Amino acid sequence: MATKEGTYEQAKETSRGVGAEIADQTKQVVGQTKEVLSEAYDKTSQTVNATYDQAMEYGREHPGQLTLIAFGAGIGIGLLLASTFNSRSRIMPPVVDTLAGIATEIFRR
């Protein structure tokens, strides 16, 4: 027949074993998560760098169009910010549509 102390020691030993197993599983999951995040960061970084390079190349080839695009984007962002302060603004949708049309025409050329 098992004594209270023997049962207590068995429970303690089992608890240590389970705790060690959980710690190992946690380490594995954390390692896998780090690996996945690292890969995602690398892919995102490569995509951002490629897009940046394309934008810079386009800017060198078409400086006038890039200036107009930047100007239009600035106006659009300014109007968006202004509309947040005045929710009754009715000028915003036509202006944004016009700027979008201009940008579309510039990129079609």
- pLDDT 10s digits, 70-99: 888 888 888 777 777 665 556 667 777 787
Domain boundary pick from 24, 46, 61:
61
What are the residue ranges of helices labelled H in the chain? 4-61, 63-85, 92-108
Per residue in 13-70, pLDDT (tens digit) is 777 777 778 888 888 999 999 999 999 999 999 999 999 899 889 889 988 888 888 8
Query: What local confidence, expressed as pLDDT, does residue 47 receive?
Result: 93
**Which burial class, exposed, middle or buried, applies to 10 when counting CB atoms under 10 A from its CB (0-12, 13-18, 19+)?**
exposed
Residue 26 shares a structural domain with residue 46: yes
Domain extent, residue 69, equals: 63-109
Q: Is 86 a domain residue? A: yes
